[in-house]
Amino acid sequence: MNCRPRWLKAATTLGAFGFAIVLFLAAPAARAQNDDVVPADVKEVLGRMGKTLQAKDFSFQSDTLRAYVGGNGELLHIAHKTKIVAHRPDRLSLDVSGDDGATKILYDGKALVVFGGDRNEYGSIPVSGNLDEMLSAAETRFGFDMPLADFFTGDPAKSFLDGVTSGGQVGKVTIDGTPCRYFFFSQAPDLQLELWVEDNDKATPRRLIVTYLSLPGRPQFYAALSNWDFATTHDDAEFVFQPPAGAKQVELARRAGAPQQSSQAPQP
């Protein structure tokens, strides 16, 4: 997988669903990282974060607020709450609710399903492989990026630092009673990333802010990360989609220029 950063993008309608979910911007191309631009002690902390997030089973909650430019140039905001469950190497579940409705996303190692609860419609993308392979295939063929995907790739620390041109520690703060380390990073060509992680052996991420310097109004994406659970084991059955009564299956729009693929023979 191309470990490209997946941060904020304007909400995008998927296929015929008529509902939107928060997606994250993938950079136009992978950028080489200079090993000297981030201090060794900072990379060590992010390495601990990456190791924590490589757990076989984990879940967490994200509360996000995204700014975007309205039709008259005004800066508007949209909020979402997401429960994310990962079961490595190839299972993922996301329950998203927010200002624009409810969405459920499931990956069972064979297909990625997107379900719009408000419209009772779902689409299925035939794809297989581990989480990195699924994310890459879904982005390549459908232009589809997962919320906060860099936190559940195979190498979260590498994914987060890809393209970073400078960075370091701002200081130490307390979030909900937990001591945290506060980092700031610049990422070419126009992003600023702020990351807070717990100041302990796990270095669990607790907050993320992304600022878009070249967009009108310099909009930001804010995510509070909480309710981390690394102890619960999740069965494969949790990630299999069972259509509700009356649910209608629709086709997801393929990305322009993407290769065609038979639904009978899914490939990663």
What residues contact 245, with CB distance under 8 A and at least 6 apart?
none
- Interval 87-97 mean pLDDT: 96
Q: Across the chain, what does the average pLDDT equal?
A: 83
What is the reported pLDDT for 18? Answer: 38
CA atoms 67, 69, 71, 76: torsion sign: positive
Q: Is the pLDDT of residue 15 over 90?
A: no
Per-residue pLDDT of 147-206, as tens digits, reads: 688 899 999 999 999 999 999 999 999 999 999 999 999 998 899 999 999 999 999 999
Which of 39-43, 47-51, 193-197, 250-254 has the lowest average pLDDT? 250-254
pLDDT for 138 equals: 84
Ranking 4-13, 61-70, 161-170, 211-220 by mean pLDDT, the lowest is 4-13
Q: Poorest-confidence range of 48-62, 223-237, 242-256? A: 242-256
Burial label, 140 (beta-carbon count in 10 A; 0-12, 13-18, 19+): middle
10 pLDDT band, cuts 50/70/90, is very low
Q: State yes or no: pLDDT of 5 exceeds 50.
A: no
φ, ψ for residue 236, nearest 5 deg: -60, -35
Using pLDDT thresholds of 50, 70 and 90, give the confidence band for residue 35. low
- Check residues 89 and 5 and name the one with the higher pLDDT: 89
Percent with pLDDT over 70 in the chain: 80
- Report the Cα 225 to chain-centroid distance in Å: 12
Q: What are 101-130's pLDDT values in tens digits?
A: 999 999 999 999 999 999 999 999 889 999
Q: Are 257 and 108 in contact (CB under 8 A)?
A: no
Q: Is pLDDT larger for residue 254 or for residue 155?
A: 155
User: Could you tell me the end-to-end alpha-carbon distance of the chain, in angstroms, rounded to an integer?
Assistant: 10
Please, how many CA atoms are within 13 Å of residue 1, restricted to the half-sphere of its CB? 28
Q: How far apart are CA 156 and CA 161, in angstroms?
A: 9
How high is the pLDDT of residue 96? Answer: 94
Q: How many CA atoms lie within 13 A of 185 on its CB side?
A: 24
- The single-letter DSSP state of residue 243 is P
pTM of the model: 0.82
> CA–CA separation, 93 vs 97, rounded Å?
13
Bridge-based pairing state of the strands 101-107 and 111-116: antiparallel
Q: Which CATH class is domain 6-29+38-248?
A: mainly beta
Please state the domain extents for the chain.
Answer: 6-29+38-248
